[in-house]
Amino acid sequence: MPKVELHAHLNGSISEETLIKLIAKKPTDQQEMLQKLTTHIGDGHNRTLKECFEMFKMVHQIVNDHESIYEATCDVIDDFANDGVVYLELRSTPREIPEAGVTQASYVETILQAIQDKSSTLQQIETFDPKRKPIIVRYIAAIDRRNSVEHAMQTVDIAIRMKKTGLVVGVDLSGDGSVNDARELYTVLEKALAHGLKLTLHLSEVDGLVAETSRLLDLPPQRIGHGTFIHPNFGGTEELLLKTRKLNIPLELCPTSNVKGQVTPSYDKHHFYSWYQLEHPVVICTDDKGVFATDLSTEYQIMQKTFNLTDKMIQSLAYLSIDYIFESDSVKDRLRRYFEGWQQLNQ
Ligand code: 5GP
């Protein structure tokens, strides 16, 4: 089934195979140490969310210069295309790596170069053909809430500057939700909106962020990452639920990430179903397909099996996700025609 992936962090999405390949290109004296890093959580294993954040730092030790950033981005795009993802919004936090001459700006330029080299043309998203795997890719500049407000402003300024490429479509807020008060980033996020960038914010991913979430919903963001603790059934409040519902803000849901990161006790207790029953827009996503050892097809299959959804319901979820991409109506129309072409072949 053709799918759109709207919540994927670049460095969390790198496969084990790619990391092994990147390690082999490092100086010999570093390889042994890098091979020992834990970068994946296999099935049946869990970590706390805090431990997951430590794992991203390990991946960062491997993806630490322009070459590895470029190669990792290309491989991640290929992986998603091979899984039937036809439209991908890839997010990543611009990182300075002074010892490798990487600046926030050159970090983003490298990703955009890989996107340009790998992305299909819009004309290739026309009629569905099972022999081809086209993919359109866009970039979302991520702000890590653990960094300073100045750092976040630099990220937004770079995103604004590079918006003219047509590849930069939005700004994300992510990083450890238990660190800092994201309300301090309100004006930075407001600036992104004022310059025509879309916002997707990790909101209430962890418990106890009601005031912060309520304030950031005032921006408002066009999408919410996780939103695990917004619904009153999951420790949220009626006010947060009403605000999210009134603005009809889609939620990007990443089941395996939430279960393996121990934010959600098990798949059947995932907040997906409470929102789905309300007919509130939800988009199934992977979050970090590398670290959490999954892919988008698997995430759909897990939700289908866990909540007894029919094929039609799953297909409808995937089709409706097109409504929430950070792209123009003409791109959405193209993706819908492509998806309908697949449906005709698979009736
Ligand atoms: P990168 O931005 O380096 O491409 O991808 C890794 C980064 O994405 C992590 O360091 C973290 O800031 C962010 N990230 C990845 N997965 C999650 C998640 O599940 N929750 C949050 N809040 N941030 C995440």
What spacing in Å lies between the alpha carbon of 243 and ligand 1's midpoint?
A: 26
- Which atom from ligand 1 is nearest to the alpha carbon of 56? 10
Is 11 close to ligand 1, i.e. is its CB under 6 Å away?
Answer: yes
What distances in angstroms separate CA 97 from CA 152, 295, 330, one per listed residue? 16, 29, 38
User: Would you state the pLDDT for residue 98?
Assistant: 98
Q: Say which of 89, 205, 212, 299 is annotated catalytic.
A: 205
ipTM of this complex prediction, to 2 decimal places: 0.99
What spacing in Å lies between the alpha carbon of 24 and ligand 1's midpoint?
A: 25
Kindly report whether the global pTM for this prediction surpasses the value 0.90. yes
**Average pLDDT, stretch 3-30?**
97
**Average pLDDT, stretch 300-309?**
98
Task: Give me 239's structure tokens.
Answer: 């006010």
User: Would you state the pLDDT for residue 44?
Assistant: 87
> Looking up tokens 């991913």, which residue turns up?
205
pLDDT tens digits for 315-341? Answer: 999 999 999 999 999 999 999 999 999
pLDDT tens digits for 129-172? Answer: 989 999 999 999 999 999 999 999 999 999 999 999 999 999 99
For this structure, is 16 an active site residue?
no
The residue segments making up the domain with residue 187 are 3-345
- Which atom from ligand 1 is nearest to the alpha carbon of 60? 3
> Looking up tokens 């993706």, which residue turns up?
335
Is 13 close to ligand 1, i.e. is its CB under 6 Å away?
Answer: no
Kindly report the average pLDDT of the chain as a whole number: 96
Q: How many domains does the chain have?
A: 1
Closest CA to 222 of 2, 3, 4, 7: 7
In angstroms, the CA 317 to CA 256 distance is: 17
Alpha helices (H) in 175-328, listed in sequence order: 186-194, 210-217, 238-246, 255-260, 272-277, 296-306, 311-320
Is 202 close to ligand 1, i.e. is its CB under 6 Å away?
Answer: yes
Percentage of the chain beyond pLDDT 70 is 100
Encode burial over 185-195: b for 16+ CB neighbours within 10 A, e otherwise. beebbebbbee
In angstroms, the CA 327 to CA 60 distance is: 29
Least confident of 30-39, 90-99, 130-139, 141-150: 30-39
Is 294 close to ligand 1, i.e. is its CB under 6 Å away?
Answer: no
**Average pLDDT, stretch 223-242?**
97
CATH number of domain containing 288: 3.20.20.140
